[in-house]
Amino acid sequence: MKLIVLAAGQGTRLRPLTDKVPKCMVQLEGKPLLGHQLEAARAVGLADLHAVTGYRQEAIRFDGLVKHFNPDFESTNMVASLFCAESVMDDDLIVSYGDIVFQPDVLQTVMDHPAPIAVAVDLQWKRYWEARQEDPLTDAETMKLRPDGTILELGKKPRSLADIEGQYIGLMKFSRDAIRQVRSFYHGLDRTVLYDGKDFSNMYMTSFLQLIADRLMPLHAAFIENGWMEVDEPADLAHTSFLYRRF
């Protein structure tokens, strides 16, 4: 199994912390975000480690990490970055956003899920979002689940808390056969249309996952309860309790 971290972003909302380093290299408790991820990966036995880089990619230096440069990082989004590492998308695969950190057991939960595609879904998201902002609906996205644990909808703007049965965190697993099908599906998409208002090269990962769920195969939720955090702006660095908290 391989890990690909999507680490091409600048993180403009984290300025001045990202003036000289990419978002994934912002320090949390004395260690870069990406360093936390790689440590968690190695703790669960992952050794084939990759990152898609872009902004200030020269600042990303870790032993054993293979870098794949996205030359269009300034004008593309997560999905385009992922496919910059397509040459190594030939095995069971973990894909992670570069601006999150998580405990090894969170990663293990996603790895162990038996479904061809498993997406981490935090059932205790609301406590975390309430700590970060007055109104959780400001930044949270929809997550609607079927009774069998497959994802019906994700990544949209919620109208109420009833639209959020959990929260997508940016961590997912694809089996070898699933990623083969996903690659073929991606290359068959119409590049002339908009996807949730974005052109093909700027498609959100949640938009791509929704397309997979609607047209290709089910997405299964791998349920977690905190044990992770994301860093979008400097204030987020203060919420490390949710990285370690369990309910």
% residues pLDDT > 90 (the chain): 89
DSSP for residue 160: S
Q: What is the pLDDT of residue 60?
A: 97
Alpha helices in the chain (DSSP H): 33-43, 78-82, 104-112, 125-132, 176-187, 205-215, 241-244
Q: What is the pLDDT of residue 244?
A: 84
pLDDT at 68 over 80: yes
pLDDT band at 247 (very low <50, low <70, confident <90, very high): low
Q: ω into residue 16 within 30 of 0, thus cis?
A: yes
Q: What is the pLDDT of residue 241?
A: 87
CATH number of the domain within which 217 lies: 3.90.550.10
Q: Find how far residue 6's CA is from the centre of its chain.
A: 8
pLDDT at 136 over 60: yes
Close Cβ partners of 232 (under 8 Å, ≥ 6 residues apart): 11, 13, 14, 99
User: How many CB atoms sit inside 10 A of residue 88's CB?
Assistant: 13
pLDDT at 24 over 80: yes
Per the prediction, the chain carries an average pLDDT of 95
Q: Which of 38-42, 52-56, 136-140 has the lowest mean pLDDT?
A: 136-140
Q: What is the pLDDT of residue 226?
A: 94
Q: What is the pLDDT of residue 132?
A: 86
Q: Which of 119-128, 130-139, 211-220 has the lowest mean pLDDT?
A: 130-139
Written as six digits, the tokens of 192 are 């002339």
Q: What is the pLDDT of residue 102?
A: 97
- Model confidence over 222-239: pLDDT tens digits? 999 999 999 999 999 988
Q: What is the pLDDT of residue 138?
A: 83
At residue 52, φ and ψ (nearest 5 deg) are -90, 120
Task: Specify the number of domains making up the chain.
Answer: 1
The residue-averaged pLDDT of 124-147 equals: 90
In the structure, how many helices (H) and strands (E) does the chain have? 7, 13
pLDDT band at 166 (very low <50, low <70, confident <90, very high): very high
Q: What is the pLDDT of residue 189?
A: 98
Stated pTM of the model: 0.95
> What is the domain range of residue 216?
2-244
Q: What is the pLDDT of residue 137?
A: 87
pLDDT at 246 over 70: no
In sequence order, the β-bridge partners of residue 198 are 195
Say if CB 112 and CB 125 are below 8 A apart. Answer: no
The residue-averaged pLDDT of 78-104 equals: 97
CA distance 130 to 153: 22
Q: What is the pLDDT of residue 153?
A: 97
Alpha helices in 72-159 (DSSP H): 78-82, 104-112, 125-132
CA distance 232 to 247: 24
45: burial class by Cβ within 10 Å (0-12, 13-18, 19+)? exposed
